[in-house]
Amino acid sequence: MIESTTTRPAKDHLACKGLRGNVLVEWYIELIEKYPILSAAIQFAVLGTAGEYISKKLSRSLPRFQLKMLLSKVAIWAFLGVAIKYAFVGFEGFVEALVYQGMLPRVVVQDELANAFARSLFMNLQFGPFLILIHRFLDNLASWKWSWKRIGSALMTLLWFWVPAHTVTFLLPRSYQIGLAAVWSLVLGVILAYFASGKAKPSGQ
């Protein structure tokens, strides 16, 4: 019989070296733990929107500033942040349930790297496509321009970017995971802008 999450080594939320006693980190952790949904929405609203605008700026496709559109983007990213928070929690239990039922090897709940990879893989292959499609739909709705251009390339980022990125994310203590996921959104925006500039293309594209 497989035990619950306690089979994996417990990770103190201040276990990262050099962070103990830091006032800002303590405040951040307290905020995350007290308001998990609200904090997820805020982090994605800020970093996700920033990544999108940096991407468009670098690729020279940034439209004329409109406050209404900016607020729409912020709201969309906030919604996505909440959805991602629920997915992070849900897929932790999903992977453990598969192990409990004998559908995955026990090492998945005993080894942190194996657990992180399994959670990332299942989440990005199942929840990831839905998130990308709903993100594009909401963007289309906000701009009232119905385009699904490059949606295939967006889906491919699940494999070459998000699976490895979230494997790293799930190796961190839970309190840091949503913050890093929001940072990854910004990073991906910059990477895609670089590819869009024509200076380089992702392998296989």
- For residue range 136-171, what is the model confidence (pLDDT) as tens digits? 999 999 988 888 988 999 999 999 999 999 999 999
d(CA 81, CA 38): 9
Q: What does the domain layout of the chain look like in residue ranges? A: 34-48+63-185
**pLDDT at residue 3 is higher than 80:** no
- How far is 193 from 17, CA to CA, in rounded Å? 33
Residue at token pair 């308001």: 35
* The predicted structure's pLDDT at residue 2: 46
| Per-residue pLDDT at 16 | 57
Q: How far is it, in rounded angstroms, from Cα 8 to Cα 114? A: 11
Q: What is the pTM of this model?
A: 0.84
